[in-house]
Structure 1
Amino acid sequence: MCTAVITHLTVQGWEWHADPYHLAPGPKSLLTLFDAGHMLGGISGDDAAETTDENPERVTAIQQLT
């Protein structure tokens, strides 16, 4: 599960975005990145060039985990 959290759109806090992970049955993985930008280095698609977060460590982590 990968979820982008826009905190100014809710007063419930970021944790509620993980509800599908916690409530759904079966094996799964959850990755939570703090202080990450929405586009995570522009790796939202094979030919995507846009980015709002160019942190090399985060980009590498996402590439290795997905």
Structure 2
Amino acid sequence: MIAYGRRKPAKGLIHHSDRGSQYAGSDYQELLGTYSMKCSMSRKGNCWDNAVAKIFFHSLKTEIGR
């Protein structure tokens, strides 16, 4: 994980994703555990869960870009 090596986040970082098979798979979940990251996923079949996170990060990126 290149981003992890560059940023060196504190233990307990929350990784939010949708329920895609690549994120829900045991290999990926094990990797998150290796880096002491906590997994956060949207509820099954509820696309609106990610909408709040996307709006927040869009606002954050817009403010930082100024």
Q: TM-score range by the shorter chain?
A: 0.3 to 0.5
Which has a greater percent of helix?
A: 2
Q: Report the TM-score when normalising by structure 1.
A: 0.33
Bigger strand share: 2
TM-score, normalization: structure 2? 0.33
